[in-house]
């Protein structure tokens, strides 16, 4: 259903922001210029009656995002970790979206448990609390097991969440198509691929069996990480819409006053949360992809406890080495090497000037060294980095979207704990250790040994593979029939006409 009817959804988005009073707050937070403000208000104000009213007891931005649906709530969760982008006041307001949304009823929760687990509710639990946390896709209850009395956390998907999310994502697809049609230069950012990636990530959150599996794998990878805990999954009490884990007792990592009262060292916590993320991404190639304050607690002994494993990221070994070399180059201020790595990995077209790209990267990296975070405008830095990537024709790397987004979120969490933290100083020992282990003579020998093992497994098949390759080379496939090509072009032309009509409709509105 990715058709022009989604124009109504996009108009309603702007109308909801206007009706709830969130439009002015968001424009103020992003320091929008007068022309942009006038344009938005002129286009949206006549249609504010189409906007959702939302919960009037909530702050305007939270009210608007909650009323619009789960995909918008996810976006608000990300912004809640970036006070340097949206301001301290708005960031605090948006944290409500992490785990304090209105819950669904206990009756629906118990019905979901009995339907999913196939046993009587009273046989499974001796106690079952009201929701202790409610987020965009699910809510969590504290319960005690009937047979052992152990305290557990029971996560249950919201009723009808799949359909609600599909409504949002359809509108996003339509917006991506419109952007590609209106601005050909934006195609290098591959907006359609970005939305497809986002859809795949969140659809994975809608099957709690996958989250249970992710939690188990993450726990195995991080078992020896000092100062870090992952709760254990109770597999016999988990299914597609219900997940049960051991209860994690601790202080929310976003509550600075509570952390101080409990005697925790926030500077040490900030360092640890960033270094843990880098270790998981570089060492394991498997990392928590949603590490905002709502998914992290601090135990009484100072350990960081992670939960909510619906979004996990995985990157292959080659990409990890590229990522580490880029970070290491920035840390050493070796911008020439950073530029070369981008070219070697194919991130920048080969016909661009590597020296010029290195100079542009220096302009991005230099302002952050020797400065504390409170003096850095991350919004301005990201804006300039975007200009650099546009000028050099870099395409969006969909395999790095989650890694980059999570890095931004984790940095936001760390800086909320220690506003003066310098991410480069904190990252340096982790990246250096990875470089020593993964790039050098020892790594080369390991790679050669791994290659030899793979070739030995495929040895008996090599003659057949070579023969098949020669046959394909000598017998290329026939070219496509003209009528099929004409048909494809006709469908493309029809799509362009429909898209242009949709854009024309927006301009009239």
Cα–Cα distance, 60 to 169 (Å, whole number): 23
User: Which pLDDT belongs to residue 497?
Assistant: 37
Quote the tokens at residue 74: 């996810």
The answer to whether the CB of 290 falls within 8 A of the CB of 75 is: no
Mean pLDDT of 4-17: 76
Average pLDDT across the chain, whole number: 79
pLDDT in tens, 438-458: 776 666 677 677 777 776 776
Residue 4 has pLDDT above 70, yes or no: no
Residue 400 has pLDDT above 70, yes or no: no
The answer to whether the CB of 219 falls within 8 A of the CB of 245 is: no
Cα–Cα distance, 440 to 3 (Å, whole number): 52
Cα–Cα distance, 284 to 352 (Å, whole number): 33
Mean pLDDT of 104-123: 89
Residue 238, helix vs strand vs coil: coil
User: Which pLDDT belongs to residue 509?
Assistant: 38
Quote the tokens at residue 330: 């920035």
Residue 296 has pLDDT above 90, yes or no: yes
Cα–Cα distance, 105 to 415 (Å, whole number): 36
Residue 232 has pLDDT above 90, yes or no: yes
The band of 503, judged by pLDDT with boundaries at 50, 70 and 90, is: very low
Residue 129 has pLDDT above 90, yes or no: yes
The answer to whether the CB of 51 falls within 8 A of the CB of 19 is: yes
Helix or strand run (H / E) with residue 191: helix 191-205
User: Which pLDDT belongs to residue 460?
Assistant: 75
User: Which pLDDT belongs to residue 279?
Assistant: 93
Quote the tokens at residue 262: 């409990």
The answer to whether the CB of 286 falls within 8 A of the CB of 217 is: yes
Judge if pTM exceeds 0.85: no
Strands 151-157, 312-314: pairing kind: unpaired
pLDDT in tens, 422-431: 777 888 898 8
Q: Which residue has the higher pLDDT, 288 or 204?
A: 288
Residue 188 has pLDDT above 90, yes or no: no
Whether 316 is catalytic: no
Q: Which residue has the higher pLDDT, 424 or 397?
A: 424
Say how far residue 226 (Cα) sits from the centre of its chain: 25
The band of 374, judged by pLDDT with boundaries at 50, 70 and 90, is: low
Which of 97-111, 153-167, 177-191, 467-481 shows the lowest mean pLDDT across its residues? 177-191
User: Which pLDDT belongs to residue 489?
Assistant: 41
| Environment class of 44 (CB within 10 Å of its CB; exposed 0-12, middle 13-18, buried 19+) | buried
Say how far residue 46 (Cα) sits from the centre of its chain: 34
| Environment class of 496 (CB within 10 Å of its CB; exposed 0-12, middle 13-18, buried 19+) | exposed
Catalytic residue among 84, 99, 168, 290: 290
Residue 281, helix vs strand vs coil: helix
The band of 237, judged by pLDDT with boundaries at 50, 70 and 90, is: very high
Mean pLDDT of 464-478: 76
Quote the tokens at residue 220: 């195995």
User: Which pLDDT belongs to residue 306?
Assistant: 95
| Sequence-distant (≥ 6) Cβ neighbours of residue 51 within 8 angstroms | 12, 14, 15, 16, 17, 18, 19, 20, 64
**Beta bridge partners of residue 154, listed in sequence order:** 141, 244
**Beta bridge partners of residue 153, listed in sequence order:** 142, 245
Mean pLDDT of 64-82: 76
The answer to whether the CB of 244 falls within 8 A of the CB of 238 is: yes
Mean pLDDT of 107-123: 89
Cα–Cα distance, 315 to 402 (Å, whole number): 10
């Amino acid at each position: 259903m990715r058709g022009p009817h989604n124009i109504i959804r996009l108009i309603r988005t702007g109308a909801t922001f206007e009706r709830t009073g969130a439009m002015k707050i968001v424009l103020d937070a992003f320091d929008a210029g007068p022309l942009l403000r006038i344009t938005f208000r002129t286009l949206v104000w006549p249609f504010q009656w189409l906007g959702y009213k939302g919960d009037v007891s909530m702050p305007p931005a939270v009210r608007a995002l909650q009323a619009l649906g789960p995909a918008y709530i996810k976006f608000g969760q990300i912004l809640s970790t970036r006070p340097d982008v949206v301001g301290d006041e708005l960031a605090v307001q948006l944290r409500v979206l992490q785990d304090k949304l209105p819950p669904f009823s206990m009756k629906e929760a118990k019905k979901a448990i009995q339907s999913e687990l196939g046993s009587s509710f009273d046989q499974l639990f001796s106690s079952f609390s009201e929701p202790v946390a409610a987020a965009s896709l699910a809510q969590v209850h504290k319960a005690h097991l009937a047979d052992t009395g152990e305290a557990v956390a029971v996560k249950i998907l919201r009723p009808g969440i799949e359909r609600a999310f599909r409504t949002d994502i359809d509108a996003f697809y339509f917006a991506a198509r419109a952007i590609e049609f209106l601005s050909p230069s934006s195609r290098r950012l591959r907006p359609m691929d970005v939305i497809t990636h986002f859809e795949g990530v969140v659809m994975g959150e809608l099957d709690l069996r996958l989250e249970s599996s992710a939690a188990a794998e993450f726990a195995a990878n991080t078992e020896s990480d000092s100062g870090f805990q992952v709760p254990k999954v109770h597999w016999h009490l988990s299914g597609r819409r219900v997940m049960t884990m051991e209860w994690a007792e601790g202080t929310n990592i976003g509550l600075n006053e509570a952390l101080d009262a409990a005697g925790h060292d926030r500077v040490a916590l900030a360092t640890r949360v960033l270094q843990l993320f880098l270790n998981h991404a570089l060492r394991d190639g498997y990392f928590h992809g949603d590490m905002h304050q709502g998914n992290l607690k601090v135990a009484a002994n100072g350990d960081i406890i992670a939960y909510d494993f619906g979004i996990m990221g995985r990157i292959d070994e080659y990409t990890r080495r590229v990522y580490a070399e880029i970070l290491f180059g920035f840390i050493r201020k070796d911008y020439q090497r950073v530029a070369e790595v981008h070219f070697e990995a194919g991130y920048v077209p080969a016909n661009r000037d590597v020296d010029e790209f290195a100079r542009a990267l220096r302009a991005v990296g230099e302002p952050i060294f020797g400065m504390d975070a409170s003096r850095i405008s991350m919004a301005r830095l990201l804006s300039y980095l975007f200009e650099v990537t546009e000028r050099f024709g870099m395409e969006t790397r969909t395999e790095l979207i989650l890694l980059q987004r999570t890095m931004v979120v984790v940095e936001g969490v760390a800086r909320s704990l220690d506003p003066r933290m310098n991410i480069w100083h904190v990252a340096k020992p982790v990246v250096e250790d990875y470089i020593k282990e993964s790039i050098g003579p020892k790594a080369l020998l390991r790679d050669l040994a791994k290659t030899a093992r793979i070739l030995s497994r495929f040895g008996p098949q090599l003659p057949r593979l070579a023969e098949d390759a020669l046959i394909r080379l000598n017998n290329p496939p026939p070219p496509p029939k003209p009528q099929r090509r004409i048909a494809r072009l006709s469908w493309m032309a029809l799509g362009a006409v429909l898209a242009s009509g949709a854009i024309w409709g927006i301009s009239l509105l």
